[in-house]
Amino acid sequence: MYCHVAYVLCNFEQRMWEETKQPLHTLTVFQHVPPKGSKCVAPSSPQCFRRNNESPDYECEWRMNTTRSDVTFDLHLGKQTFKFKAETHAEFREEQLIKYRPVDIWVEARVEDSTCSSNRTSVVLNETVKFKAPQDILVSWIQNHLKLTWMAAEKHPALVEVWFRKADTLSWEKRQDLTELMPSKNLMSDMLVIKHLQKHTAYQVRLRQQTKAALNPLWSDWSPTVIAPAELEHKLDVNMTLEALEGVRKVTLVWKPVQPSAAVSGVAYFLNDTQSSRRCPCKKKQHRMEETEYTYYVSYSPVSFSVVARNAAGYSPQAAIQVPAEVAHDLQPCNKTMDKKVKKSTCREWYELQGEDLRPESVPSFTETTRKKVNRNSIKDYVGYLYFEHLCVQNTPKTVNMCLYYRNENVPKKAPQELVASNQTRNSVTVSWNAIPVVERRGFLIHYNLCSVIIHSQDKEKQCHLIPASLLKFQLENLRPNATYNISVAGVTAAGEGPKATITISTLLLSFMNGGLKLGLVFATIFILLLIVCMCICKRMKKKICPPVPKPTFLKLAFNQPVNQTWTQEEHEEVEHDVTLQPLSETLAKNANETVMSLHIDIRTTDSMVSEETNGDNLISKALTDSKEEMPNMGEEDLLASLLYRKGLVFDMKTDSG
């Protein structure tokens, strides 16, 4: 009963001490009260324990609120006493202590002539375990759950009390849970997951742990406060600028900083590249920086960059940047000089060509330095490689040689693709095609061989042209009109000519409709159209200047009446007009002495008229005869012109001499 009461009091005192961080003097039968006026302040009750259930060593610790350096302590473990000077911590081997039965433990402090003692507690040392405070706590996010990891104190799950709060608040939240053991290399780690948090928010976390395998477990000290920043969920937004120099390219990478909640405990950026400007050439290096901009000097070969941000909670997704190779426009085949030994500070790279153009992959197939040799037998036959040779100049990789490398060559495997003809005339045609894919060339393409031969003719002479490999179009000229040709194109390497692509074309027929005749027809058509327009305009102008003389209509009306028909209605109409007429001829004007003729026109409707056409003709003749008698000096044409048509009536003109 005595031992049990002492054990309970000791455990209660220890827990209250850890939570309040102040010594607590429990009034028990073992309590020591210092005398009034004493210079000594009683120390806290000591705690003696092992660090885990398998440790053979024991530790004791206590506290005293003093800054004096001349204080001494006597630690009592049952009948054993151990002396210390100004120390509040002691370590013992298991053979020095009584482990398996209860012992009274207390501490006496001496300051000058004063003595004070802590409370006495009774414990079984072998049953008391106190873990160390969790250290080196790693934090990471799993969706909205915060994962905490630290080194395990023993190979058993532990009870953990964790306090956490948002970085911008004051109140703490508390949770208790058992840890999960995780193997980490040769060690074991404790893992605790705090669920249902916000991964875009920063948190402050601290915790303590306790064993579950001992009869008398003690809480560990509190861990240092750990800041868990927000998760780096997105990759960095990196912009690249490229400037080509002589054998060197200047690459500047700039990216945006991460959000503030992800950088509360600091953030670093890690940049990896396949060409290091500091350890050139052909080296791969990682750069750590806190800035958001970095400048590289790289060679003409392909370069791969990757940029990630890292905070206490982990890494951001990788942002990859590819800088393609700077391939020369007049790329030539490699010569034998590359077989010489590699000089110091020189690097050689072979990039296998796998696409349809001369853009290689970003990772070299072979790399050769002074320390690393390439077995040439491992290079494939009939496969093209883009070869680079770099030299380290003032810690900057510089490309000094670039060429197209084939270990052994063969004829092309395929013919040129998509052979078509266009712009056909009677003596020329334009032929175009697509290049042979690089992987199908099997050698350095020297030129294309374009040949044409006429079909269905006694002249079977073949005409061939050597087209540079950089050209994919050619115009054949001096062909025969109205002829059929067979045209072929083939690629040529140092090993010979490859398969041919063929096409059949026909030139146009030679006819007079071609050339200048077509142009003449166009001009003739335009001339005829203009002539027709002019004639129409002249005809209309003539009608306006010289209007036609109308024929009298009353005669027709009269002549169309039935024979021997008498008029059933008499009409009498008298119209008197004074009409002034200009003489119509010079002769008439002279005879009239340039006087104005007043015509008194007396129009009378005939009571009866003869309706036969012969009688109508007689009337016209009689009218002309009467007019001549009255105007003897007028000709017959002038008389007709002197007739005036008005409202369908013909007026007789009488010259008024008076």
> What pLDDT score was predicted for residue 57?
93
> What pLDDT score was predicted for residue 489?
95
> What pLDDT score was predicted for residue 394?
79
DSSP assignment letter at 292: S
Tokens for 477, please give them: 């000229």
Nearest to 506 by CA among 424, 431, 423, 451: 424
Tokens for 19, please give them: 């939570």
- Sorting pLDDT into bands at 50, 70 and 90, what band is 337? low
**φ/ψ of residue 617, rounded to 5:** -60, -40
Worst-scoring range by mean pLDDT, 278-282, 455-459, 542-546? 278-282
Nearest to 435 by CA among 452, 453, 451, 448: 448
- Mean pLDDT value across the chain: 78
Structural contact between residues 444 and 491, judged by C-beta atoms closer than 8 angstroms: no
Tokens 């455990």, residue? 11
Neighbours of 306 (CB within 10 A): 16
The DSSP result for 409-439, as a single string, is ----SSPPEEEEEES--SS-EEEEEEPPPHH
- How large is the average pLDDT for residues 252-260? 94
SS3 of 52-90: the string is: CCCCCEEEEECCCCCCCCCCEEEEEECCEEEEEECCCEE
Residues 288-315: pLDDT tens digits? 889 999 998 888 888 888 999 999 999 9
Question: What is d(CA 146, CA 344) in angstroms, rounded to the nearest whole number?
Answer: 52
Neighbours of 60 (CB within 10 A): 21
Structural contact between residues 266 and 243, judged by C-beta atoms closer than 8 angstroms: no
Quote the pTM value. 0.60
Nearest to 100 by CA among 81, 76, 123: 123
Helices and strands in the chain: count of H runs, count of E runs: 7, 42
Nearest to 204 by CA among 152, 178, 169: 169
Question: What is d(CA 498, CA 501) in angstroms, rounded to the nearest whole number?
Answer: 10
- Sorting pLDDT into bands at 50, 70 and 90, what band is 413? very high
Neighbours of 55 (CB within 10 A): 14
Residues 484-535: pLDDT tens digits? 899 999 999 999 999 999 999 888 876 545 555 667 778 888 889 888 988 8
Structural contact between residues 264 and 229, judged by C-beta atoms closer than 8 angstroms: yes
Question: What is d(CA 225, CA 205) in angstroms, rounded to the nearest whole number?
Answer: 6
